[in-house]
Structure formats: C-alpha cells, structure tokens
Structure 1
Amino acid sequence: MKKTPRLIFTLLFMGLFQALSATVVKKVAPACWWAGMKNPELQVLLYGDNIASADVCISSKDIILKEVVKQKNPNYLLLYMDLADAVPQTFDITLKQDKKQIVVPYEIRQRKTKAAEIKGFNSSDVLYLIMPDRFANGNPSNDIVPGMLESAVDRKNPFARHGGDLNGIEKHLDYISNLGVTAIWLNPIQENDMKEGSYHGYAITDYYQVDRRLGSNDEFRILVEKAHAKGLKVVMDMIFNHCGSENYLFKDMPSEDWFNYKGQYTQTSFQTITQSDPYASDYSKKLAIDGWFTEVMPDLNQRNRHVATYLIQSSIWWIEYAGINGIRQDTHPYADFDMMSRWCEAVTLEYPDFNIVGETWLGSNVLVSYWQKNSKLAAPRNSMLRTVMDFPLMTLMNRAFDEETTDWNGGLFLLYEYLSQDIVYASPMDLLIFLDNHDTSRFYRKEDDTRNLNRYRQALTFLLTTRGIPQIYYGTEILMAADKANGDGLLRCDYPGGWQDDSKNYFDAASRTLLQNTAFAYMQKLLQWRKGNEAITKGSLKHIAPNKGIYAYERKFGDKSVVVFLNGNDRKQTIGLAPYREILPRTSATDIISGRKVELGEELDMENRGVLVLEF
C-alpha cells in the first residue's frame, strides 16, 4: 500500500507519543477500572519524570476530573475522577507540558455479570494454605527472570527462591480438591523484586503485578477460574502495613508522609497490644504501630488519604479483576485502626458477601476479640473485620493433645475452658482456626510416630468439628514436620513431588509411606464428610466438662446432630453416659471414622487417645 504524507506523519506522530509515554510515564496505577462500582471515585496514580508541572485533561464526556494532586516529588500526579455516570470506554489522559503532549489511554471496563455477588469464605469452608514458591514448579522457564534483583534458584537454601509457581498450583488442583478442602489461601503473589529473601512474598514492590517468577496477572486470573470450576474458593494474601524497600513508591517517595517516621527506618516494638491498652503511652503506641518490621519493609502511613485510597483500590482491583473470594490481611493490628475499618467497609460495599481475615497474632482471646467486627470491647470503635485469627486456640491445641487430661486441669480441659470464654467474641463461628501456618512450628512431630499419629488424629478431629473456619497448612496431610527454632525457611519446605527432579512424589499415594497414607486418608475422610454438613458448618455447640479425661461436645443444626468424644489420656477409659444424655439424641449412632455402629447404653468405652465422631 502506498503511504501518503499524512499517513506517514500520523505514524511518526503516534510512534513519538508511544516512545515519549514509555519513557516518561513509568507507572499508571491502577491500569484500568470498571464502570458501575458503588463508590464512583477513582484515584489514578501517574509516575514519571517531572510530570507534576503538566496540565491535565481527559477526553471523556461522562467522567469528571475532580482533583489533580501534586506531591512534593515532581515525578507524581494523583488524579481523582468521578465515574458516577461513566459507561465502559477507553479515554485519553493528556498531560501538556511546555510544547510536549503525552497521551495516556485509560480503560473503563464492563463489569462481569453478578461481579458484586462473589461468595466469600465462611464456616462451611476449610482453607488450604499454600506458599506458592514452595508447593510445585509447573513452569521452570519462569524460575529466572532477567532483570529481577533476585533471579537465582537454590533449593538447598531454605531462604532462597525454589521456583514454585501458579502453574504448579494449577496442575495440582485435582489433588487439592480430592483432599476435601474447599478453598485455597495463597501467601502473597504480588511482585517482590527484592535483592534477597523475597520468596515468601511479604515485601511487595508492585501492588498491581503478580511476581513474574510465579506467573502473570492473566495466569492468576485463569487459576482462580479453574479453581472455581472445581468448587474451590481462592483467598489472596495482602499487606497494607508495609511494602518492600525496592518498591518505587519508597525508592522515589511521592512525599515523605507516605511512610511512617518520614521514611526513616525505626524498628517497631511489635507490641500491638497498645492498640487496645487503655493505659498505653502515646510514645509506646506510636512506636508499635508506626515502627517498621525490618529495614527492608518500610512502614506505610495509612493516615495519609492518598496512601489509604491507593491501598483500598488495589484490593478492590484484584477482587474485580480475578474474582477472588477472600483476603487475608497480614499484620492487621500494625496498621491504622480507622483506615483499616474504612477499608473493610469499602470492600463490603462493593461485595456484600466477601470476607476478610486479619492476622491478629495476640496472646489472649480478649485481645483478639477486640479486632473482630462489632466487638463490645472496642466500642464505640468498630474494626468492621468479620474474621480474625484465633492464635490463642492454636497455642492451646499444640499443648492440649500432648498432655494428660484431668477433670480440672491440663490437656483437653484447656480446650473446654477456652471455648467456655467465647462470650468475648462477637461471632465465634467467624474465627479462623488452625494448628499451624507458615510462621509457626508445624503441628506434627516425628519423635514418636505412633504417639504423634494419635495426637494428629485428635487435633484434626477437633479442628474440623469445633466452631470456626478451619485452615490447614500444605503438607499437613502427609505429616510434614519442622520446628521454628530452625528458621522460618524450613517451615516452608518444598512439597515432595512438586519438582520434576524430586526423588519422591507425595502427590501420588503409591509413593507415600504407610504412615503418610494413613494420615492422608484420615484427613480426607473428615474433610469430605464435613462438606455441606450443616451440623458442623452452621450448628450450635454444646460441650461437657472433661470426665475421667474424656471431653465430649455436640454440634446441632435442626434435626441433625454430631457428637464428638475425645479421650485425653494414654489409657483406656470407661465412662457412664448419664451426664451426656442431653447431647445424645438416640441410643445408637454411626462413628464416621470407623463406619461402625456404636451403642450408647449405660457406659461407653474409649481407647487410649481415642476418637469417636458420632452422627445421628
């Protein structure tokens, strides 16, 4: 085709604009948005060399440019737009500077049908926690990405990257689904372009980008879709308290008040108890909340309205873009209480059934309860956070199944006593409960496999039949063990079989030991039975104080009833059933573990460390 002078000029002009835009406007965040959101305001952050002096206009006729905010750093512009009347479209953001003109196309997308009706996770679910770098390597070609600061893969180093990725998780969705869990929680997948030790994901350098060593944004969206097709929800880990020191927002700060202590490293005391302490000094509270986790994790200032909006929008963007079902918020009490409350409200406004769980690593149920939505202890403040993590129960479970149980002390009595204090919680059924996670010693121990298998069975039974939302850490089903004293890297070991050159493949039952298959089968039976079991997922809880070391409780919903008996001692026990009649609707039931019929006459015999899960 013969090119006219006008066409040649147009092509050159477009090429000039594209080149200029690529070199001057380095970041546009978020990259797109959607029409029809409940909150019509949109913040667009532009980052580029000396763009603050530019005049800004937009080409859209139904979008209002409300505010153009300049920061102390001339490399930033913050645009606030009103999308109340906007329809899906692509419009131009034009920056005029001297005689130069930069055009940034921006897309407002059409929302998917029923996008606001996303189903969040709840007590009917069991979450399976995965650290993506350590689960399975589905695409070795992304192990090393040129230009990224930490590109090496060293599986012998527990603190280095190992090459696990989203594709590896996708290839094992059948394994996860067949196990019987109903949701997967992924440790952070957003970009962590740090110099070292970034495998865990908690030093984010780009809030809108999946780390390229894990995959792409599209690959994550596809993973979520495939998980949904198999009946699995997806929970995404997020961090609002801090970012990675290689994040462009820190390396070239919009202004020093984007970060606490004016961007100067000041170590936190980790005493987040000061948030609820009525006697805390201002100094102690500020140091705990505004202090930094580490020097390479600068602490974001959520009191800055621009920072708050940036973070809130980033979470909503991922919900809308990928269709995730929940968020686990890291270090929740380390951030500003009021801003985090507004965030929870903002997400709920757009997605009424969506759920967020906050990491509330505190030492007592009273302290944890302060952070749950509608807590009377926090009133008149309200965190608006529906689900909190029950760390005190985790601590007790790691002790209770080791000890001998008396009627008044130790062992299973600790669990009875703790649950009797649930009056401090606004909603006990919305607590996330767990035996371990990526930050704690693994629950299973290898010292005495027979003793620990009984401990494992009792703990799993309790976890999956008591109140709350259970979470299981990947590898628990095959008895992976690790002690935190040996370092966090070993708590996050590779799942054997997730790499092509692994000598053992524990995704395959034929490769597992008899002990591992016994443990796997036990967990699988409980998980598959729990699915849709309303007595467990919705039912009331009534328990009986330990008698001869035996703890019993009933879960009941309508005419459905499940009764659990746990023997907390290393000896056989026989108990009279008269004190238990009010939780035994009939005189016989089926034990779902063994499948046998159990007669409930005058007495009940229990094996040492025995378990009965009776379904009526």
Structure 2
Amino acid sequence: MMIKLLSLCSLCALTLVVNVKVYAGEVSEKFTAKAVKLAPYQQRDFQDEIFYFVLPDRFYNGDKSNDLGAAANDTKRAISRGGFDKKNKGMYHGGDLAGLTEKLPYLDNMGISAIWLTPVLRNQAVQNGSSGYHGYWIVDFSEIDPHLGTNAALKNFIDKAHERNIKVFFDIITNHTADVIKYKECHSSDGLTWLLEDKNCPFKSLAQLAQGDTYTPFIPTGSENLKTPAWLNSVDVYHNQGDSNWVGESAIRGDFAGLDDIDTNSDKVVKGMIDIYTAIIDEFKPDGFRIDTVKHVNMAFWQTFSPALIAHAKTQGIDNFFMYGEVYSFEPELLSPFTVEGKLQSVLDFALQGALQQTLVEQKGTDVLAKLFAQDYLYQTSHQDIENTNANQLVNFTGNHDMGRFAYTLKESDYNYSEAEQIQRNLLAHALLYFSRGVPVIYYGDEQGFVGDGGDQASRQDMMPSQVVSYNDDDLLASNHTTADDNFDTSHLFYQSFAQYGELYQQYPALRFGKQSTVYAQSKPGIFAITRSHTFSLNEQEKEQNLLIVFNTADQVKALKVLDSGIYNDKDAKLLYLSAESQGDDKIAPLSFAIYQLP
C-alpha cells in the first residue's frame, strides 16, 4: 500500500512528497491512534503514553469572559487581574481551560494519550513589564488562575479528558513563588524602584551570611497577605540571599530571575510543600506531575517529597501516579542522580534533545546517539518506596518553551537547509522520540509546523489566530498558513505523521517497553540502527517481540549491507514500516527510517 502525503512550501515552488509503505495490514489506513483503544487510564503504565505539552493561554480561547483574569471588584485577587494584550508576546492572549476542553478531539485524533499543562495555579498577573501567562509566578497554590478559568473548569477538563481515556499532568513548582519579597539594600521602601544601577541583587553566600553580611528582606505595604497558604507570607521561609548567578551555591539558594526562592532546606517548608500538593491531588485527581526547576532545589527535598506524594496518590486510588522533573542539563551523569538519589521517577531527557541537535542539525555522526544510549544504565534504580526506574521512562522531546523549537534551530543552521530538508529532519527527529527508548512529548504547535524566532517568548506562539507581529511573519513548515490563522489543521503533514507514529508506538509493545541495543552507528551522518526486544503476555501466553529500527541521518541513500551480521537480512526480517521510498530493498532513503520485525 502506498500513501502519499503532500506538503506545499509557502515560499517555494517545491512540493515535498513523502512515500509511506505499510505492510501486511499491520497498521490501519487512517492512522488514528485514539486513546480509547488503549488500556484504561487508571491502569496504564507511564511508558504507554504519548504526551502533548501545552501552554493553555496560547492554545484556544473557549471563554472570553475570563480574558482579564480576576473580576474588577475582586479585591482578594486583584493581583491576578490584567496583563491581557493579544498583540504583545509577553502578555496574556486569552487561551483557557474551556478552550482546551473544546479541542480535546483534535488531540485525541493525533494519538495523544496524556496532556501536560504549564502551571495553572493563580499567578501574579504582571511583574517587570511582562505577564504570568506561562503560569510560573504563583501566589496562590490552592486555586486556578482566573485567566484560565476556575477550579470547576479544571475539574471539568480533567473529567472530559478521562472520558476519552486521556491523562492530565500538572506542571508544579516548589522552588519559588512570584516576586513579592524585596531587599532594603536593593529596593525603595515601596518595592517599586531599584537602588542598584544594574537592577540586580548580587548573591550572598552562606559564608557571607555567617559573617553578618546579609540582606534585609521586607514585603511592601499592601502585599503582606498576597500568598496562599498563609505560611508563604513569612520572609523566614525563603533563602533571601539575592539573585542567582546560576552556578555553585547560588543555583540552589538564589532567587530565580528575581522570584522568591523558597527555603526547601527547612523541614517546615518540606512539610508545607507536601501538604500543598497532596491537597491538589485530593481536589483535582491529576494523573501525575511534571516538576519545574528540579536542579535548583536541594536533593534531600526530593528524597522526601517524591515518595510522599506517590504514596498519597495511591490512597486516592491513583495507583499509577507519576512524576518527572525538569533538570536543565545535557549530560546523563547530571540528570540521573535525580532518579537514583532524588527518588524522582523520571526526568526530561535533555541529553537526548542535545544529541538530536548534534546529529540532525549540526550533522555530527550517529555515534553521538550510540554514546548517549550507552549511558542508559545510569538511570537504573530499585527503591523500596517508589517503583523501579529505567531509561525507558525518560521523557523525550525535541524542543520546548524555554530553549525554543527544533524547527527554529534547523532554520538558523549554518547548513542553510531548504524547507523540504527542514521538514524531513524535523520528522526524523520526532521519529527518534517515538521509536527509541523513552516516552515521547510533542510541544504544542510542532504538529502544525511552528518555527519561532528563538526561545522563551519567541517560541510560545498562538494556535488560535495570533495578533503578534513577530509570530505572524514566520513561514510555517509544510503549510501555507501563518500563526495569524487558526492552526488546528488535521490534514497537516506533521499532524498526520505523528498520528502514524502514535499508532505504531501503541501497536508494538517493544517500542514502549523493549530493551534497546545499538546495532550500528558511524562517525558521520548515516545509519543508526537499534533493536527493541520485549517479552509480554498475550492471551495467557508469553510472546516475544524483536524489532529493528533503522534511521538514516544522511542526505543521501545508504545501503543496509552494513547490518548484514546476523541481526538483519532481507529473507528473515519483515518490513513493517518505511517512511520514504528507496531505490531497492537493500537501501534506505535519505533522512528516513524503517521498522522491521525480526524472527
């Protein structure tokens, strides 16, 4: 069977044709991996999931009545009102939980089985000339930000997602709150004016503090009771050592870009944070948490926090509650301690993201991938108070809301890739997310060819029609649309491809649970081949599944004869999926991949 997917380049005459072969009826023709076909969400393993990571404010506006946040007469929540400006990329744009609920079918049909929301708790709406549309400036840990809806709206969203057998994960923060606390040495008495020319409070070390060289923290008049729960309004539960410079002691104890850094070394704070998030579990029954800024919190905190929340979730009937952390480091030896020592169940795999960048953007050899995967043993753990962890539970991604999109790095590459090649490299990067070990994450908008102009605000475009000039001048990949259009196109090449990848991922257990071994890698762009082997029970019988996945990162055809070593031969291997036609069965097309079933 031959399926041709056409992509029109918006600024070129070239038409990209992707030929996909599917064999022996292994995958349905429509490639709709709806979550309803999966095991019930209450029973489903984390490794069964396909994630969609979304900023609710930038997705879809389902309720325009909440665009300004708190009501004008709501004095208690006045700090959470305003900041709405659809033309400003640093302000609220109106997306909300009602909009996400309305668009659940769009996610479901792409094969998404779990949704990861950026923080939805109540924020300080505006600080330092920008807004809290992203959710990381929390002042109230007990209720939903009014720009996004209400507690009831969040519960409704979760209920509707669960009806579709889709899980919901919250992004949570323990490292900091919104910027409320000021220092007399740095700020005017009203907290509004900087006394220092560079608008920064230099970090003071513990050694300086021991010698009496300290800051004098204060809360400006009128802000004494902004935070909930009330214990967060005491300056004594914060480190108060000035702004982090991102290295050494300051990375753990410094204010994160001015945000109030919570003293997670304190037993009172550890208990308080556990209480906050057990209450969240009790009220909303989410399926898990993504944890922000993990490496900026002391390791002992995680050793207590993680087992406590997992144990509590079980008391609420959430037996498969799962947490993964953001450790913004690119080396497995820096990532793995947070699972081995910190007792987190998993972390985002920044190391794989870096390897994808090196191989598919910078054209380094596929041995970069082999060297990375050779370190997977570092993640193997066996804790008595949490489930065993391994590299199959790592969370794979190509780009995000901080570093920017993978498509942007391709566009800016010194190799000056054509749009057609940017498309192929983007698809191959996502194939590596799905089919090498780990759990795949789609960053919202990637399925519509979003590119962006860099990281942070430049990578947080609107899915609904945007009014931001710097967003709307982008040439989206594989599309004639811009971000000024409504971008929920289910016929988009990337959307359709990710749906195909999802169906394959869900159909073959070895792609989710299989032990991974590298078969072939080379010191330049070309073949990277792995096997995924898994034994599982089916109809009370033991079944063994052995798959071979071959990726070609080169821009030229490569011969498969390098694999003729007993692992693969065309007589015994059964071709399950071929992403692009090649000139002969013993070759693999440029920037493509193939999946084989081995005896």
With normalisation by structure 1, the TM-score equals: 0.70
Deviation readout 1:494-524 (Å, 9 max, x if unpaired): 014599x9852221346xxxxxx22221111
Q: Which residue of 2 aligns with 1:292?
A: 255
Q: Is 1:418–2:395 an aligned residue pair?
A: no
Q: Quote the offset at 1:181 in angstroms.
A: 1.6
Q: Is 1:396–2:355 an aligned residue pair?
A: yes
Contact 1:120/1:355 (8 A) holds in 2:
no
- Partner residue of 1:469 out of 439, 454, 468: 439
Q: Is 1:146–2:125 an aligned residue pair?
A: no
What does 1:516-555 align with in structure 2 at a 5 Å threshold? 517-546=492-521, 549-555=526-532
Deviation readout 1:303-345 (Å, 9 max, x if unpaired): 3333222211221122222111110110012123212211111
Q: Which residue of 2 aligns with 1:479?
A: 449
Unaligned residue ranges in structure 2 (runs of 5+)? 1-40, 73-77, 181-225, 381-389, 412-416, 468-481, 536-543
Q: Cα 1:249–1:131, aligned 2, differ >3 Å: closer, same or farther?
A: same
Q: Secondary structure at the match of 1:205?
A: strand
Q: Cα 1:531–1:598, aligned 2, differ >3 Å: closer, same or farther?
A: farther
Q: Is 1:210–2:186 an aligned residue pair?
A: no
- Partner residue of 2:430 out of 452, 457, 460: 460
Q: Which residue of 2 aligns with 1:132?
A: 56
Q: Quote the offset at 1:462 in angstroms.
A: 0.9
- Partner residue of 2:286 out of 305, 324, 346: 324
2 CA distance for matches of 1:428 and 1:444? 26
Q: Is 1:231–2:207 an aligned residue pair?
A: no
Q: Quote the offset at 1:399 in angstroms.
A: 2.1
- Partner residue of 1:504 out of 485, 493, 497: 485
Contact 2:58/2:463 (8 A) holds in 1:
yes
1 CA distance for matches of 2:338 and 2:239? 22
Instruction: Count the aligned residue pairs.
Output: 458
Instruction: Find the structure with the greater CA-based Rg.
Output: 1
What does 1:162-561 align with in structure 2 at a 5 Å threshold? 162-196=93-127, 197-246=131-180, 247-248=226-227, 255-261=234-240, 266-271=242-247, 284-285=248-249, 287-295=250-258, 297-350=259-312, 351=314, 352-372=319-339, 375=340, 382-404=341-363, 410-426=364-380, 427-445=390-408, 446=411, 448-484=418-454, 488-497=456-465, 504-509=485-490, 517-546=492-521, 549-558=526-535, 559-561=544-546
Relative to structure 2, which stretch is displaced further, 558-567 or 353-362? 558-567
2 CA distance for matches of 1:206 and 1:456? 39
Q: Which residue of 2 aligns with 1:606?
A: 588
2 CA distance for matches of 1:541 and 1:591? 18
Q: Secondary structure at the match of 2:46?
A: coil
Q: Quote the offset at 1:555 in angstroms.
A: 1.2
Structure 1 runs (4+) deviating above 4 angstroms are: 117-121, 249-254, 583-586, 593-600
**One-letter amino acid of the structure 1 residue matched with residue 244 of structure 2:** T
Greater relative contact order: 1 or 2 (C-alpha under 8 angstroms, separation 6 or more)?
Answer: 2
Contact 2:580/2:593 (8 A) holds in 1:
no
Contact 1:119/1:325 (8 A) holds in 2:
no
Contact 1:553/1:583 (8 A) holds in 2:
no
Contact 2:46/2:320 (8 A) holds in 1:
no
**One-letter amino acid of the structure 2 residue matched with residue 395 of structure 1:** G
Q: Secondary structure at the match of 1:294?
A: helix
Contact 1:539/1:555 (8 A) holds in 2:
yes
Q: Cα 1:141–1:459, aligned 2, differ >3 Å: closer, same or farther?
A: same
Q: Cα 1:417–1:174, aligned 2, differ >3 Å: closer, same or farther?
A: same
Q: Secondary structure at the match of 1:202?
A: coil
Q: Cα 1:253–1:124, aligned 2, differ >3 Å: closer, same or farther?
A: closer
Unaligned residue ranges in structure 1 (runs of 5+)? 1-116, 272-283, 376-381, 405-409, 511-516
2 CA distance for matches of 1:575 and 1:322? 51
Contact 2:49/2:439 (8 A) holds in 1:
yes
1 CA distance for matches of 2:263 and 2:570? 56
- Partner residue of 1:158 out of 89, 93, 97: 89
Contact 1:123/1:468 (8 A) holds in 2:
yes
**One-letter amino acid of the structure 2 residue matched with residue 234 of structure 1:** V
Q: Secondary structure at the match of 2:159?
A: helix
Q: Quote the offset at 1:199 in angstroms.
A: 0.9
Q: Quote the offset at 1:568 in angstroms.
A: 2.1
Contact 1:403/1:568 (8 A) holds in 2:
no
With normalisation by structure 2, the TM-score equals: 0.71
Deviation readout 1:25-66 (Å, 9 max, x if unpaired): xxxxxxxxxxxxxxxxxxxxxxxxxxxxxxxxxxxxxxxxxx
Q: Cα 1:503–1:365, aligned 2, differ >3 Å: closer, same or farther?
A: closer
Q: Cα 1:349–1:588, aligned 2, differ >3 Å: closer, same or farther?
A: closer
Q: Quote the offset at 1:120 in angstroms.
A: 7.2
**One-letter amino acid of the structure 1 residue matched with residue 458 of structure 2:** L
**One-letter amino acid of the structure 1 residue matched with residue 354 of structure 2:** T
Q: Cα 1:361–1:251, aligned 2, differ >3 Å: closer, same or farther?
A: same
Contact 1:403/1:411 (8 A) holds in 2:
no
What does 1:58-97 align with in structure 2 at a 5 Å threshold? none
2 CA distance for matches of 1:502 and 1:467? 33
Deviation readout 1:343-376 (Å, 9 max, x if unpaired): 111112222531111111113110111111xx2x
